[in-house]
Amino acid sequence: MRLRVSVLVLALAGALSGPAWAQGTATSTSAGAADWGGQNIRLGVSAGLQAGAPGFTQSSILQIYAEDAPITVDYGHKSALLVDGSLGFHLKGRFGLGVAVSYARSKVDGQVHGEIPHPFYFNQPRAIDGTASGLQQTVLGTHIQALYLWPVNDKFDIMFSGGPSLIMLQQDLVSNVNFSETYPYDTATYESAQLARTRRTGIGFNAGADLTYHFTQMLGLGVLVRYTRATISLPIAGASNVSARAGGAQAGVGLRVLF
């Protein structure tokens, strides 16, 4: 009888301790998943596309035949090839701090409209219209990021990021126009545009996410989605500064290395 009672007591103790042991294991696993999987540094290299920022308008006043000649240029937008590199450092738990550098370059067109004064008569402007093609646009962004890692499972995780950005925009602007005219000079025809390359830097923001599939503990394939934006004032002779928006939606795929 005493032997049976002892066996029953041991069995009941084991049954009660089983859930507590399982709970302790689950808590430990959850805590382990909350950090960066034992890694402290994440290095990423991606290639993809950056959607063009909305176009902008330039208004200039030229002097032709001793009169004002208003010139307006509407700059379009176009997607650009993107190269991106990122570096992240683990701080505590799921949080980290990082920096990313993105480079995008494209060529856009500008729709030119001008009012050209008459060589013989005052206040009789002649309209010209044309396209300035192949205007180079380069966007270089440096993005400071607060990081938050969300482990989806053993193979996938998502790194959310956001913070301020320093964005440099280099843009070809129309500085003058070439036109043709013949006697009696009642009309003028647009021929081409003279360009001036200008560059300025502005402060904006970035927000994004990076989904990583882990091949091994150190290597993975990442898919980057990010949005950046800054408003930049570009100087041009004969006009007030041109306000342009730089950045846009970014998407890329590349290698992820974890240390």
Q: How many CB atoms lie within 10 A of CB 256?
A: 26
Please report the pLDDT score of residue 26 as a whole number.
36
Contact present, 211 and 188 (Cβ < 8 Å): no
Per the CB < 8 A criterion, the answer to whether 179 and 242 are in contact is no
If one counts every other C-beta atom within 10 angstroms of the C-beta of residue 16, the result is 9
Distance CA 238, CA 163 (A): 36
Residue 239: per-residue pLDDT: 67
pLDDT score at 91: 96
pTM: 0.81
Return the pLDDT at 238.
65
Q: Check residue 35 and give its pLDDT.
A: 79
- Per-residue exposure over 121-156, b if at least 16 CB sit within 10 Å of its own CB, e if not: eeeebbebebebeebebbbbbebbbebebebeeeee
Residue 23: per-residue pLDDT = 37
Rounded distance between C-alpha atoms, residue 259 and residue 168, angstroms: 31
- pLDDT at position 196: 93
What pLDDT was estimated at residue 22? 35
Pick the closest to residue 140 from 160, 119, 170 (CA basis).
170
Whether the link from the prior residue into 125 is cis, omega within 30° of 0, is no
Identify how many contiguous H helices and E strands the chain contains and give both numbers.
1, 10
Furthest-apart CA atoms within the chain: distance in Å: 128
For residue range 50-87, list pLDDT tens digits in order.
Answer: 997 888 999 989 999 999 999 999 999 889 999 999 99
User: Contact at 8 Å (CB) between 111 and 128?
Assistant: no
Report how far residue 59's alpha carbon sits from residue 115's, in angstroms, rounded to the nearest whole number: 12
Question: pLDDT tens track of the chain, all 259 residues?
Answer: 343 434 333 333 343 333 333 333 333 333 333 478 788 999 999 999 999 788 899 998 999 999 999 999 999 988 999 999 999 999 999 999 999 999 999 999 999 999 999 999 999 999 999 999 999 999 999 999 999 999 999 899 999 999 999 999 999 999 999 999 999 999 999 999 999 999 999 999 999 999 999 999 899 999 999 999 999 999 887 667 889 999 999 999 999 999 9
By CB atoms closer than 10 A (0-12, 13-18, 19+), residue 252 is: buried
Burial of 85 (0-12, 13-18, 19+ CB in 10 A): middle
In degrees, rounded to 5, the angle at the alpha carbon of residue 204 between the alpha carbons of residues 144 and 150 is 45
Rounded-to-integer distance, Cα 100 and Cα 84, Å: 7
Res 208: pLDDT = 98
